[in-house]
Amino acid sequence: MDEFELYLRAHTHLDNGDMDQIRSLAIPKTLRRNEFLLHEGEICRYKIFISKGLLRTFGTAADGSEHILQFAPEHSWTLDVESYDRQQPARYNIAAIENSEVLLWPKADFDKLLATIPSLQSFAQQLISRNIYNSGRRILTALSATPEEKYQEFIHSSPDLLARLPLHMIAAYLGISIKTLTRIRQAQLRR
């Protein structure tokens, strides 16, 4: 039994038949560090499950700087929702931070699965809900927190990621400069 099945069993009550069906439509893919799975402007054709590794979703600003919307470690899902839903050009890029293994479901196939497996649908709903809750919090801290508070919140909520990410990506995720991040960390050492 592989990563994906273990994940499904842990988070759903899907029966074996359903699992097989879901699995049968997945396209496995290996990604090397820094390899892109989606470039902005392309259409996001797949729902993506990360079996191993770590991905990031990010947008590029006018000046070329990158801002990270989401980190997707193993056992999580990712995609450009807007592009995927409407099959229109993506706003964001998705790329691997570590060498990764992912499973891809073409939208048409996944839609079929959703239609035929009710408990998959409700599971998908849960994921969407969680996404919304997190977005709310993310917006609020982006608006109200100081760089230091943002960093604290990050290491508190994702200590695991902290160890795996280069600092400049954390900065790009928090919306602060690498310089500020370095300063914060220095200040903490001195305590």
Partner DNA sequence: GGTGGAAAAGGACATTTGACCATAATTTGC
Partner DNA sequence: GCAAATTATGGTCAAATGTCCTTTTCCACC
Residues near a second copy (CB under 8 A) are 59, 61, 65, 67, 69, 81-82, 85, 91-92, 128-129, 131-133, 135-140, 142-145, 174-175
Minimum CB distance to a second copy, residue 9 (Å): 24
The token duo for 113 is 């699965």
Contact between 80 and 90 under an 8 Å Cβ cutoff? The reply is yes
Rule CB under 7 A: is residue 33 a binding residue for DNA?
A: yes
- DSSP 8-state symbol, 95: E
Q: Is 89 helix (H, G, I), strand (E, B) or coil?
A: strand
* CA distances for 60 relative to 33, 67, 93, 104, 155, angstroms: 19, 6, 8, 24, 24
Rule CB under 7 A: is residue 190 a binding residue for DNA?
A: no
Distance of alpha carbon 13 from the chain centroid = 23
67 contact choice in a second copy, DNA, none (CB below 5 to 8 Å, kind-dependent): a second copy
Rule CB under 7 A: is residue 185 a binding residue for DNA?
A: yes
Q: What angle do CA 133, 13, 54 make, to 5 degrees?
A: 50
182 contact choice in DNA, a second copy, none (CB below 5 to 8 Å, kind-dependent): DNA
Question: Which residues, at least 6 apart from 121, have a Cβ–Cβ distance to it below 8 Å?
Answer: 114
**Alpha-carbon gap, residue 142 to 74, rounded angstroms:** 25
Nearer to a second copy, 28 or 166 (CB): 166
Minimum CB distance to a second copy, residue 135 (Å): 4
Which positions from 123 through 152 interact with DNA, judged by CB under 7 A?
146-148
Among 28, 118, 136, 166, binds DNA (CB under 7 A): 166
Nearer to DNA, 90 or 165 (CB): 165
CB atoms within 10 A of CB 64: 6
The token duo for 46 is 């797949």
The one segment of 36-44, 46-54, 75-83, 173-181 that binds DNA by CB under 7 A: 173-181
Interface residue list for DNA (CB under 7 A): 32-33, 146-148, 166-168, 175-183, 185-186
